Amino acid sequence: MKRQQESSRNSDDQRFRERLLTWFDRHKRDLPWRQDRDPYRVWLSEIMLQQTRVEAVREHYLRFLKRFPTIKKLAAAREPSVLAAWSGLGYYRRARMLHAAARKVMGELGGKFPRTSHELRALPGIGRYTAAAIASIAFDEPVAVVDGNVERVLQRLSGRRIGGEDVWRRAQELQALERPGDFNQAMMELGATVCVPRQPKCLLCPVSDLCATRGELPGADKAIRQRKREIHYALDCRGDSVFLVQRPAALRLMPGMWELPEVAITDASSPVHLTLRHSITVTDYRVGVIAGPAPEITNGCWIAKSRLTKLPLTGLARKILRSASII
């Protein structure tokens, strides 16, 4: 495979690699899991990063590591303690898998952490992406990773709607064989900080002159498929209370959670107090918030501001209340 890769390496790809790695050396974020290449730490960080933003992972990672500094300690723990240390990160299945994998390594594998992406994939919770990330970062295996960020970078770079296996193939062609872990992290980092979905920062991009689109989105990009919607809410505060409504218990989406009363756009004749953006799966909302009561809403409650942080608020309600400095 290595020879085949070498033969398909061209000079633009080589330039891409060099520029990307130089940029990464200068601009990489200072993240706690980048202090060393200890496989346990790399593994833990990659599992945490699977569905969670870097900033949220940062503090949880350090806390978890303090509680379980080694894979041995993790394997010896009881599951409730592992879940408690995972608290706040969500997607608790990841924690259960991590724990099961630690037990497998310490038991069946006699304490030997697998060193290749192929072997890593046999552990619970480790799929193609995570196996490649750990093997390249901790063990220098020249195997490419593809996540949503890498896919976007490669689509823009080529100007084609590549997806599926083609993206993995292209990532593998570009891979820097001498620094595979840094290359993979640099690709993810470029996608997360420069080649971002909306308004990419092409002026700061180290490879913009090698890019077919300079940030234009090939048709398959998420931003193009996103639906756009406008929605208005009423923010009515009296004294120390704010008027909220509870979503019906029978709803499929966020049943029983609290939110601001929605107002029809035609009713939103009062001036818009603040606007913000909110994305839920495939829909981008432009949210307008008017100050004052929502007409025709009778099923709401006045909630003391001091109780708000203890209430199950929807993500958007929390965002609006934060923007208005109420919580």
Instruction: Report, as residue numbers or ranges, the catalytic residues.
Output: 46
**Residue with Cβ nearer ligand ADE (132 or 235):** 132
Are the C-beta atoms of 138 and 42 separated by less than 8 Å? yes
Measured over the CA atoms of residue 98, residue 104, residue 107 and residue 113, the dihedral's sign is negative
- By CB under 6 A, the residues from 176 to 195 that bind ligand ADE are 185, 188-189, 192
Closest approach of Cβ 151 to ligand ADE, in Å? 13
Cα angle 120, 121, 123 (rounded to 5 degrees) comes to 75
d(CA 253, CA 247): 9
> Which residue is listed with tokens 């001498």?
178
Residue 271 CA, distance from chain mean position: 35
**Residue with Cβ nearer ligand ADE (44 or 308):** 44
**Residue with Cβ nearer ligand ADE (77 or 145):** 145
> Which residue is listed with tokens 């949880």?
60
**Residue with Cβ nearer ligand ADE (148 or 255):** 148
Are the C-beta atoms of 175 and 133 separated by less than 8 Å? no
Closest approach of Cβ 55 to ligand ADE, in Å? 12
Token pair of 244, please? 């909220």
Are the C-beta atoms of 320 and 260 separated by less than 8 Å? yes
d(CA 311, CA 81): 26
What's the number of CA atoms in the CB half-sphere (13 Å) around residue 209?
4
Closest approach of Cβ 185 to ligand ADE, in Å? 4
Q: How many residues bind ligand ADE (CB under 6 A)?
A: 7
Closest approach of Cβ 204 to ligand ADE, in Å? 17
Q: For ligand ADE, which residue of 17, 20, 23, 46 counts as binding (CB under 6 A)?
A: 46
Closest approach of Cβ 237 to ligand ADE, in Å? 40
77 binds ligand ADE (CB under 6 A): no
Q: Map residues 128-147 to x or -, x wherever contact with ligand ADE holds by CB under 6 A.
A: -----x--------------
Closest approach of Cβ 189 to ligand ADE, in Å? 5
- The phi and psi torsions of 299 (rounded to 5 degrees) equal -95, 20
d(CA 9, CA 1): 13
**Residue with Cβ nearer ligand ADE (106 or 150):** 150
- By CB under 6 A, the residues from 233 to 252 that bind ligand ADE are none
- By CB under 6 A, the residues from 260 to 289 that bind ligand ADE are none
**Residue with Cβ nearer ligand ADE (189 or 259):** 189
Q: For ligand ADE, which residue of 20, 44, 47, 49 counts as binding (CB under 6 A)?
A: 49
Q: Which residues of 290-308 are buried (b: 16+ CB within 10 A; e: fewer)?
A: beebbeeeeebeebeeeeb
Interface contacts to ligand ADE, rule CB under 6 A: 46, 49, 133, 185, 188-189, 192
